[in-house]
Structure 1
Amino acid sequence: MSKRSLSVDAELHQYLVAHGTPPDDLIAELIEETQAALGSLSGMQIAPEQASFFTLLARLLGVRTGVEVGTFTGLSSLAVARGMPPGSSLICFDISAEYTAIAQRYWERAGVDDRIELRLGPAQEGLNRLPTEPHLDWAFIDADKEGYPGYWEALVPRMRPGGLIVVDNVLRGGTVIDPPAEQNSSTAAIVAFNDMVAADKRVEPVMLPVGDGLTLARKR
């Protein structure tokens, strides 16, 4: 027994994906197309076990209104939308028409395009235009790391009590514990952001070693 999370190598990762809810044909095809079309950039896509986790969370929380900051080729939004009932609304902010064109094709094929709205342009400006009252059940942040604090401050007041903010890449491959002089600007930004979230009394946060590190923060 261990009081720490296990390190996950490729073989163990394959095992855990297979023994959860493994990717269906559509998600597997989206992952494969992203890798084939974008090469090393495909590393920006969430892990397959994160996709299954997001669908489960959306169902457990009864998510009906959500926001995503950073959509890429659409795996995270597809996963969340699959856990939302018909008539729900997930607003996705991204700046790339090229990457999100792939996302839109898979949203349509999955039959969830009616509950997803893509808004192209700077996410901070888009978030600032959302209604200011608490109304969001779900928010996912996975975009430029230097922008995380601004996205967080725009989202927290707009979350309903009990709503969940999920933040990706909070461990940066483990480099968050490197000496500051060895950190690049994105990692330094994440270190400062993680400290900010841990001190924010408006939320109950937990950081998990899922994918590249995932913070879940419940609005008090």
Structure 2
Amino acid sequence: METTKKAKTHPDRFRYLNKMVIQPRLNTLPPALTELIDVTARHPKERFASSVDQLLLYQSLTFMMNAKKILDCGTLTGLSAFSFALGCGDDGHVYTIDVNEEFVSIGKKYWEKAGISNKITSILRSAVDVTKEMLKEHEGTFDIAYLDVPKEYYEVVYENLVPLLRPKGLLLVDNIFLDYLVFEEDESKHDELTTHVSNFNKRISSDDRMLNNFIDIGDGLAIAVKK
């Protein structure tokens, strides 16, 4: 199985995780997941995909919460939606949002192959618009929300996601370290993308509606629980 760029954190990190966690877990899951991981590792937008250990964490958290309703903002090649669908039961459902039909079509092929496509609804529209509209009928009903859209939209989508979550609902946000660029304290050195992520990190960290944690996994993951 191919690794990703994010496995470079420590020379032996991926080797150890692969031996102790990743391969034992993947061996119990549909082979289509491993195939999609490999396809995504060769994708030009691979930088923004979750690492394999993140995907397994998403499945575990979904299973632990017995989540029935998951909102996945940023489908890309469909890995996160795949993981959430594996974690929820037959009565669970994942709504995944992306504007790029070409990217999403990659995931659909492997969802079908794994027999989980019936648990996933793909919405090909802007997450900004969809999450805003969902507030009319779905406020306070989602068990889990995942945020991995273009970074300039993080804050506006976040403000829609928080009210969509039920109390004690879980929010996951990917790429919050952005190749560790946000660690630069002199913000005048931040490029536009880093500034967007840095501003979002400040927002979620100061939001008294959420219990927030930053986890050094993949490219950085925020794990927050709605109070």
Q: Give the TM-score of the pair, scaled to structure 2.
A: 0.89
What secondary structure sits across from 2:54 in the alignment?
helix
- What is the rounded CA distance, in whole Å, between the counterparts of 1:78 and 1:126 in structure 2? 20
After superposition, the C-alpha distances for 1:93-124 in whole angstroms (9 at most, x for unaligned) are 10111010011111111111111100001111
RMSD over aligned Cα atoms: 1.4
Which residue is equivalent to 1:187?
194
What secondary structure sits across from 1:68 in the alignment?
strand
| Unpaired stretches in structure 2, ≥5 consecutive residues | 1-7
What secondary structure sits across from 1:46 in the alignment?
coil
Which residue is equivalent to 2:21?
20
Query: Does residue 119 of the first structure (1) align with residue 123 of the second (2)?
Result: yes
- What is the rounded CA distance, in whole Å, between the counterparts of 2:91 and 2:154 in structure 1? 29
Which residue is equivalent to 2:84?
80
After superposition, the C-alpha distances for 1:26-77 in whole angstroms (9 at most, x for unaligned) are 22211222334x3x42222210001111100000011100101101111111
After superposition, the C-alpha distances for 1:189-212 in whole angstroms (9 at most, x for unaligned) are 111111111111111000000100
| Unpaired stretches in structure 1, ≥5 consecutive residues | 1-6
Deviation at 1:132, TM superposition (A): 4.6
- What is the rounded CA distance, in whole Å, between the counterparts of 2:174 and 2:143 in structure 1? 17
What secondary structure sits across from 2:57 in the alignment?
helix
The answer to which of 62-71 and 16-25 deviates more is 16-25
Which residue is equivalent to 2:204?
197
Correspondences of 1:1-220 after superposition (within 5 Å): 8-22=9-23, 23-24=26-27, 25-36=31-42, 38=43, 40-130=44-134, 131-178=137-184, 179-220=186-227
Q: Percent identity?
A: 27
- What is the rounded CA distance, in whole Å, between the counterparts of 1:32 and 1:133 in structure 2? 36
After superposition, the C-alpha distances for 1:143-187 in whole angstroms (9 at most, x for unaligned) are 111101111100101111110000001111111122212211111
What secondary structure sits across from 1:167 in the alignment?
strand
Query: Which runs of 4 or more aligned residues in structure 1 lie more than 3 Å from their structure 2 counterparts after TM superposition?
Result: none
Amino acid at match of 2:194: T
